[in-house]
Amino acid sequence: MELNDIKHAAGAKHAKRRVGRGIGSGLGKTAGRGHKGQKSRAGGYHKVGFEGGQMPLQRRLPKRGFKSRTSQYNAEVSLAALERLGAAEVDLLALKQARLVGEMIKVVKVIKSGEIKTAVKLTGIGATAGAKAAIEAAGGSVA
């Protein structure tokens, strides 16, 4: 085999469609653009979403929802997750190492979901009123 014998796989390459090259090609005369109108003319086109002056779809539909940009740095941890963790002292670094919160998280709050029986000392972590009461009832503290 020589370099000049190498060929593309069958069907890998195909000829580019040449438009406007006579009646026999099947794409002569109007060259597949139809008759008249903005889309038939050279340089005549419109921006994406333009509907000929009709109110565009993205403006006909109601606006809905909001995604806070700060929420990507906030996280919640349940009481049940703290129970499974089994650490006496819990801070943000301990939660990240246990993979209970993501690496980018800056603010963590404990929520009252599940039960806790072991004493846990929270440092630098917030807690809801119900979660705080549950942690203190188990002999822990929230700082």
Q: Could you tell me if 38 and 46 are in contact, meaning their C-beta atoms sit under 8 angstroms apart?
A: yes
Domains of the chain: 15-46 (no CATH), 71-142 (3.100.10.10)
Q: Is the pLDDT of residue 46 over 90?
A: no
What value does the mean pLDDT take over residues 107-132? 94
Question: 127 or 46, which is more confident?
Answer: 127
pTM, two decimal places: 0.55
pLDDT band at 41 (very low <50, low <70, confident <90, very high): very high
